[in-house]
Amino acid sequence: MLRRTILKAGAAMALVTSLASVASAELSGPVNYIIPFGPGGESDISARMQQPFFKEKFGQDLVVSYQPGGGGAVGWASLNGLSGDGQTIMGVNLPHIVIKPAQKDVGFKTEDLNIFHMFHFTPDAIVVTADSPYQTLEDLVADAKANPGQVTISGSGKASANHLAQIKFDKMTGAMTTYVPFKGTGAAVTALLGKQVKAEWGYTTVGAAQGDAVRLLAVAMEERHPLFPDVPTFKELGYDMVGGAYRGIALPNTASEETTKMWSDMISAVNTDEAFRQKMLDAGFALLDVDADGMDAFMAEREAEYLKDAREAGLIK
Amino acid sequence: MNFDHFLTAATPFNLCLALFGVAAGTIVGSIPGLTATMALAVLVPITFSMDPASALILLGAIYTGALYGGAYAAILLNTPGTPSAIATTFDGYPMAKKGDGDLAVALACFASVCGGLIGAFALLLLAPPLSKVALAFGPVEYFWLSVFGLSLIASLSTGNLMKGLAGGAFGMILSTVGVAEISADIRLTFGSQTLISGFGVVGTLIGLYCIPVLIDLVAVPDRHLKVEKDVKSVRIGEAFGLAMRSKFNLVRSSIIGTLVGILPGAGGSVAGLVAYSEVKRGAKPHQKFGEGEPDGIMAVESANNATVGGGFIPTLVLGIPGTPPDAIVLGALLVQGVRTGPTMFQQSGSIVYTFIYGLIIATIMMLPAGLLIGRYAYKSIVTIPKAVLVPAVGFMTIIGTFAIRNSISDVVIMLCLGVFGWVVARFGFAASPIVLGLILGPIAEQGFVQGWTIGAATNNLTGMFFGRPISQGIIAFTLITLVLPVFMGKRRAKATQGVPE
Amino acid sequence: MSVSTSQGHIGSLLTSAFFMLAGAATLYDAASYTDRDSQVFPQTVAVILIVTAGLSFIIRLLRPTDRGGFGPGVWWRRILLVVSMLAACFVMPVIGFLPAGVIAFAGGLIAAMHDKWTTRTVLLYWSSGAVVMVCFFSLFKYVLNVPLP
């Protein structure tokens, strides 16, 4: 027992020293991990998933706290005023951080955010209840074409990933559906399960959480999600839709380059842990490994696409 | 569901956890600004290094304790410690002012335990069928539920109906300030970055309820609360007798609390308001609600604690959290690899049942713990000299408001609202209608917009808003609540006219 | 002082008028929203606010009473309490949470002290204040990990 503890401690030491040689910055205590939403959403769940792995690898607690308000805007607007010593990090979400500042002055700009890692995304998916008459995506599209506007689809918020997906998909198919915004994915799913709406624009995570109660009609991924081998991608069905809500973590922009590098490496280490990947996949997430070096290119690409979509949808001018 | 799980839940270690959790939760809940959500979020990492069932028992105990603790500040300081205790202030503070604060605290404890137990047993025995309630409630039902809650304004503001309604409307307008939740606009900030975050419920509660009390306290040399000569103990026996006499009220309010708790998006504050509205509707002639009526406290406190068990029903059965604390427990479960959903009771049954039994044990433990802490809370509030009480509470409001979003501007907003609330209350615009509007406004708005969107899409707006059975039921209750007092008042007036002076 | 110029009467009229103004401001602001969904509710509620506040204004105007008013009490104490708390907020980012808390506490303590100061009360009250503040500060900062400045 004692030997094992010593071994463990030794291994941890080795890891910490090897890390310290890479980056000269260090953590000095528990980390304040701010989620700019309320608890229970995808951002919260994925942060919770990281917690034990981070503690195991780096010996410090990630203390999750919630600062909901303005669809995340309140948190992001306050981020750069926080201390950049590496003890405070904040979750960021795409497309929110692109669309919100493009619409109105919400107190922050996309390029002001010092994002150091994008670690997962939840692919868009159309979800129906298990007993829905829509067996395939074509059933839904056909119904929406035959009865314009009558197919109601719930989703989380407006100008959100769900809303953008709905507008984009309507454009692609030429069908007309009605988007009903709810406060968060949980409420949108409740409306679906309660048959208040006919379908939900959600994510693969909804399929994982609800199991047999729901059916995914299609997922917006390049390849099928390992958790849902029977659910086709939009691409297979002839619609060029790949995307969803992307989530990452940012530091205040006063953080030094060493600190940013340290964090990028640490989250990369968590993200490459096989057990962590498996847990995330089981919960319906899709993993992403964009670290600080690749961030600018990644963001530029996503930003261009979101702004184009939002402009076409009439959400921004 | 068998006895083994009860034994697993009742290990000495778990019992200690439950007791500690309830006590810590009660203290957390009694401090305005310190919420159960915050305490749970901090404690979740502990659950990773602990046996999952024990960890969940700890989380559940804190949650249930916090809902009871909210009553202390409501009764003794007229400030709901948690939003769930808003309606506790209606009768709790008047009781405390009359010198019955100790009785009120004990009553709140009995009622909370009763509500907590009924909610927990509903969770244990009826969770899958009851979870259907959450699904039967669509946007329109939420809209009407909020209208029902708002109808309470009418009976709260006797003689000042217009001012009450204006206050409610003003509260609803306050609730829209900032970035809109389900539409894409920024509203009523007039260009200010500070207002983008809107008026948080907890901060506004502290401002509108607590600051006016402090302002009034410093102005005159009188004591804060009237005290009997000797403060011996919380009046347990008397409280128990009163609680027994109100069995029907307690059970009805607990059932209301359980049902409202099941609705994701309603929560403890709405449960308390609905239960209060119901008990007030059935008031007997000698009962004076709003002036320190014990039944009012019991209704609210039993209802809000029943939401604990009720709220876990959709959380566990549907994977849809009813309240923020539920969401945190759900997150902890997911990380543990527990899959929520209809099959959960079979697949992860042992954790779930151990948790539910743990919740029941924690609720029972609340009785001794709550009475004991309540006694100290009461004693300290009445015996601490005013000169220390005021700045201590003032300091608490600052640190509590700050901690909600780590924002100083929130504290400034809270103080400004406090001064504003104090001024308008002096001229007949009481705080409660404003707070009701603030809490129920978002529910009304979202329900209305969603209902309208769906109704317009299916060309059936009338059917959408008036044709659904649950909606019709709520509308009927609302009308009864609004019309009955007028009718009864007339009859009572007639009756008194006949009696010679 | 006649009823129609009493503090209660004038104050009531002014607060009603303020609420009507708030409704008008809401209507003005709502006109600029781009999304119809965010317009409907504030507009409806603003109309209700203007009507109800207007009615209470008219009722009061037609039937003057002196009900309402600030009541007895010492103004400097009220003002000292609020101002010290506000001042604490504004200096907090500069001097830190605890020193700012001392300002708020001191203001509240002086404002609420109606008895004569004695050596005993001075010592007792100030020291208990220090204990309360340090306890709360530690609880929030170290147990709950709230980043207090």
Residue A146 burial class via C-beta count within 10 angstroms: exposed 0-12, middle 13-18, buried 19 and up:
exposed
Q: What is the pLDDT of residues A238-270, one digit of tens each?
A: 999 998 999 999 999 999 999 999 999 999 999
* Per-residue pLDDT band at A69 (split at 50, 70, 90): confident
Give B 453-472 residues with CB within 8 A of chain A: 453-454, 456-458
Which subunits have 3 or more CB–CB pairs within 8 Å of chain A? B, C
**For position A18, what pLDDT does the model report?**
45
Residues C127 and C94 in one domain: yes
Q: What is the pLDDT of residues B20-39, one digit of tens each?
A: 999 999 998 998 888 888 88
Which of residues C80 and B51 earns the better pLDDT score? C80
Which of C62, C92, C107 is the last residue before a domain boundary? Answer: C62
Test B391 with C129 for CB contact under 8 angstroms. Answer: yes
Residue A5 has pLDDT above 70, yes or no: no
**For position A290, what pLDDT does the model report?**
93
**For position C2, what pLDDT does the model report?**
65
3-state secondary structure of B226: coil
Q: What is the pLDDT of residues B93-152, one digit of tens each?
A: 999 988 888 899 999 999 999 999 999 999 999 988 898 888 999 999 999 999 999 998
The region that residue B292 occupies, defined by phi over 0 for left and psi between -120 and 50 for alpha, beta otherwise, is left
Query: E strands within A168-298?
Result: 177-182, 199-203, 214-219, 244-251, 286-291
**For position B340, what pLDDT does the model report?**
73
Residues C88 and C111 in one domain: yes
Written as one letter, the residue type at C30 is A
Least confident of A228-237, B138-147, B192-201, B373-382: B192-201
Residue C69 lies inside a defined structural domain of this protein: no
Residue A20 has pLDDT above 50, yes or no: no
Find the helix or strand (DSSP H, E) in which B186 lies. strand B186-187
**For position A232, what pLDDT does the model report?**
96
**For position B496, what pLDDT does the model report?**
55
Residues C53 and C103 in one domain: no
Residue B181, chain A, CB below 8 Å: the answer is yes
Nearest CA among B323, B437, B181, B36 for reference residue A69? B181
How many separate domains does chain C show? 2
Which positions in chain C touch A181 (Cβ < 8 Å)? 37
- B82 — phi, psi (to 5°)? -130, 155
Residue B491 burial class via C-beta count within 10 angstroms: exposed 0-12, middle 13-18, buried 19 and up:
exposed
Q: What is the pLDDT of residues A25-55, one digit of tens each?
A: 788 888 999 999 888 889 999 999 999 999 9
| CATH class, A123-219 region | alpha beta
**For position A3, what pLDDT does the model report?**
46
Residues C50 and C20 in one domain: yes
Give B 244-303 residues with CB within 8 A of chain A: 264-265
Tell me what the mean pLDDT of segment B64-80 comes to. Answer: 92
Tell me what the mean pLDDT of segment A166-195 comes to. Answer: 92
Specify the CATH architecture of the domain A2-122+244-312.
3-Layer(aba) Sandwich (3.40)
Q: How far apart are CA B177 and CA B179, in angstroms?
A: 7
Domain around C9: 3-62
Residue C137 has pLDDT above 50, yes or no: yes
**For position A144, what pLDDT does the model report?**
95
Residue C65 has pLDDT above 60, yes or no: yes
Q: What is the pLDDT of residues C81-91, one digit of tens each?
A: 999 999 999 99
pLDDT, averaged across chain B: 88
Q: How far apart are CA B17 and CA B22, in angstroms?
A: 8
Here the tokens at position B221 are 């040399």
Test C37 with A181 for CB contact under 8 angstroms. Answer: yes
* Residues in contact with B332: Cβ distance below 8 Å, sequence separation at least 6, in sequence order: A48, B44, B47, B52, B55, B56, B59
Residue C15 lies inside a defined structural domain of this protein: yes
Which positions in chain C touch A30 (Cβ < 8 Å)? 145
Test B326 with A149 for CB contact under 8 angstroms. Answer: no
Give A 114-133 residues with CB within 8 A of chain B: none
**For position B5, what pLDDT does the model report?**
80
Q: What is the ipTM of this complex?
A: 0.94
Which of residues B155 and B308 earns the better pLDDT score? B308
* Per-residue pLDDT band at B499 (split at 50, 70, 90): very low
Q: What are the structural domain ranges in chain B?
A: 3-489
Which positions in chain C touch B165 (Cβ < 8 Å)? 48, 52
Residue C33 lies inside a defined structural domain of this protein: yes
Least confident of B93-97, B194-198, B231-235: B231-235
Angle, alpha carbons C134-C136-C137 (nearest 5°): 60
Residue C119 lies inside a defined structural domain of this protein: yes
Test B450 with A181 for CB contact under 8 angstroms. Answer: yes
Classify the C-alpha dihedral B377-B380-B381-B387 as positive or negative. Answer: negative
Nearest CA among B193, B151, B117 for reference residue B356? B117
Q: How many CA atoms lie within 13 A of C132 on its CB side?
A: 26
Residues C48 and C95 in one domain: no
Residue B450, chain A, CB below 8 Å: the answer is yes
* Per-residue pLDDT band at B233 (split at 50, 70, 90): low
3-state secondary structure of A66: strand
Distance from CA of A281 to the nearest CA of C (A): 31
Residue A308 has pLDDT above 80, yes or no: yes
Residue C70 lies inside a defined structural domain of this protein: no
pLDDT, averaged across chain A: 88
Residue C111, chain B, CB below 8 Å: the answer is yes
Q: What is the pLDDT of residues B396-427, one digit of tens each?
A: 999 999 988 888 888 999 999 999 999 999 99
Residues C79 and C33 in one domain: no
Q: What is the pLDDT of residues B328-382, one digit of tens each?
A: 888 888 777 777 776 677 777 778 888 899 999 999 999 999 999 998 888 888 8
**For position A24, what pLDDT does the model report?**
54
Residues C80 and C111 in one domain: yes
* Per-residue pLDDT band at C58 (split at 50, 70, 90): very high
Residues C40 and C91 in one domain: no
Residue B229 has pLDDT above 70, yes or no: no
Residues C81 and C137 in one domain: yes
